[in-house]
């Protein structure tokens, strides 16, 4: 440990080059994320502007359906009177945050967000394992409407990747943990393109000196999840116009799950009503206009019957042709060999036994040696000789 501190082993080779004044090109413009999200980590760079398309493309200029803000810090209190837990040493989990993240994901899926556009990241392997378990139980069952997100990973493993919407779980409620490392914080905040929602204990992180620049921006917005009612994906509201009507604040994870269950129930009722209307409209149609089942013999039309008769006639003609060829051979008293049976044209010549023997291949079914002479003389081949055939 002493040698590690003395040698500054936590420094990357790139950092060492920069400190040695090796010529380098610094990033001064980004084109990944909304300009508002980029502000969460732009303080880390000397200068970080936005590329023109970030201000022009519709995906960056419109808001996130169902969410008042494009990024938020959601304060997660104790769940079942617990915060972080450690079932085994260094395997840290937070069930309250896991349930909140899953409920938010389910809400997004109900509004029409694509599963492959949503990723879930966290700062600990234990939390990643817990998230996978909760997602599998809530969303991964066969026939589920939700499906699994594009990725469930730690911040370190997700480095170098991105997605449109990222749900970040900070896990810790007793100590800051290794998110105190500014480099890991910048990686965590810079993975999202269009929406970033951070779940954590506000009292734990808001006064951390290393996180101060990002937290100052995050706490300017409400720390309870702000949902906009009545919106579906994609959103038609400009991102700069934060919704003021039909906004619902979610107090805790239980309230979020109850709200998601209500939305799902309402959608199911709408689907049932639509199915009933479609069924009534179908029954109201005249009999000749009602949809027909091809598998039902009673619904076969004249055209279908004509096609069936044509196919049957063609099949019978093919059978008669084969019978005629066989009858012709029988009446002529000659057998058809080689390519004579090919109606469309001759086939490759079938090699004779002598030709196959010349090539060193004994044709199957030929008779050799003295047995062949006996056969030529009309003698009967005994069983022993027959085994040589």
Write down the pLDDT at residue 95: 97
CATH number at residue 80: 3.40.50.300
Q: Is residue 283 a part of any domain in this protein?
A: no
Write down the pLDDT at residue 351: 46
| Predicted structure pTM score | 0.71
Write down the pLDDT at residue 292: 62
Q: Is residue 44 a part of any domain in this protein?
A: yes
Number of domains in the chain: 1
Q: Is residue 235 a part of any domain in this protein?
A: yes
Q: Is residue 287 a part of any domain in this protein?
A: no
389 residues of the chain, pLDDT tens digit each: 676 667 777 788 888 898 899 998 888 999 999 999 999 999 999 899 999 999 899 999 999 999 999 999 999 999 999 999 999 999 999 999 999 999 999 999 999 999 999 999 999 999 999 999 999 999 988 878 899 999 999 999 999 999 999 999 999 999 999 899 999 999 999 999 999 999 999 999 999 999 999 999 999 999 999 999 999 999 999 988 787 889 999 999 999 999 999 999 998 898 888 888 888 888 887 776 666 655 555 554 555 555 555 555 555 555 444 444 444 444 444 443 444 344 444 444 444 444 444 444 444 444 444 433 433 444 444 444 344 43
Q: Is residue 279 a part of any domain in this protein?
A: no
- Residue 300, helix vs strand vs coil: coil
Q: Is residue 277 a part of any domain in this protein?
A: no
Write down the pLDDT at residue 67: 96
Write down the pLDDT at residue 303: 53
Q: What is the DSSP string of 205-251?
A: HTT-STTHHHHHHHTTS-SSEEEETT--SSP-SBTTS---SSEEEE-
Domain that holds residue 96: 32-271
Provide the 10 A C-beta neighbour count for residue 37: 25
Q: Is residue 360 a part of any domain in this protein?
A: no
CA separation for the pair 182, 166 (Å, rounded):
19
How would you label 99-136 residue by residue, b for 16+ Cβ within 10 Å and e otherwise? bbbbbbbbbbbbbebeeebbbbbbbbbbbbebbbebbe
Query: Angle at CA 136, nearest 5°, toward 132 and 140?
Result: 135
Q: Is residue 2 a part of any domain in this protein?
A: no
Give me the helices (H) in the chain, please: 2-6, 13-19, 35-38, 52-56, 58-61, 95-111, 125-138, 182-189, 202-205, 212-218, 253-283, 302-332, 353-358, 369-376, 383-386
CA separation for the pair 186, 351 (Å, rounded):
78
């Amino acid at each position: 440990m002493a040698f590690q501190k003395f040698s500054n082993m936590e420094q990357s080779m790139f950092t060492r080059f920069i400190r040695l004044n090796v010529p380098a090109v610094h990033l001064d413009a980004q084109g990944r994320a909304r300009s508002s999200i980029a502000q969460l980590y732009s303080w880390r760079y000397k200068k970080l502007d936005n590329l023109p398309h970030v201000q022009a493309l519709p995906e960056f200029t419109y808001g996130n359906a169902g969410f008042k803000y494009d990024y938020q810090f959601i304060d997660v209190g104790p769940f079942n009177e617990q915060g972080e837990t450690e079932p085994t040493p260094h395997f840290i989990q937070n069930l309250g945050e896991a349930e909140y993240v899953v409920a938010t994901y389910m809400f997004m899926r109900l509004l029409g967000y694509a599963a492959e556009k949503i990723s879930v990241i966290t700062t600990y392997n234990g939390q990643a394992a817990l998230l996978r378990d909760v997602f599998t139980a809530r969303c991964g069952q066969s026939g589920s409407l939700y499906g699994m997100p594009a990725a469930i990973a730690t911040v370190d493993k997700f480095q170098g990747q991105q997605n449109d919407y990222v749900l970040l779980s900070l896990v810790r409620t007793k100590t800051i943990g290794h998110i105190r490392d500014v480099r890991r914080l910048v990686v965590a905040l810079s993975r999202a393109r269009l929406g970033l929602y951070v779940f954590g204990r506000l009292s734990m992180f808001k006064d951390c000196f290393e996180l101060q620049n990002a937290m100052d921006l995050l706490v300017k917005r409400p720390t309870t999840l702000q949902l906009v009612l009545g919106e579906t994906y994609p959103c038609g509201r400009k991102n700069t116009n934060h919704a003021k009507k039909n906004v619902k604040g979610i107090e805790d994870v239980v309230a979020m799950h109850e709200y998601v269950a209500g939305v799902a129930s309402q959608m199911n009722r709408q689907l049932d009503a639509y199915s009933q209307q479609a069924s009534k409209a179908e029954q109201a149609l005249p009999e000749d206009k009602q949809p027909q089942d091809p598998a039902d013999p009673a619904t076969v039309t004249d055209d279908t019957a004509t096609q069936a008769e044509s196919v049957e006639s063609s099949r019978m003609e093919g059978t008669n042709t084969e019978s005629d060829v066989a009858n012709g051979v029988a009446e002529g008293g000659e057998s058809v060999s080689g390519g004579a049976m090919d109606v469309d044209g001759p086939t490759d010549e079938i090699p004779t036994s002598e030709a196959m023997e010349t090539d060193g291949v004994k044709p199957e079914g030929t008779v050799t040696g003295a047995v062949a002479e006996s056969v030529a003389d009309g003698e009967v081949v005994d069983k022993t000789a027959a085994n040589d055939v």
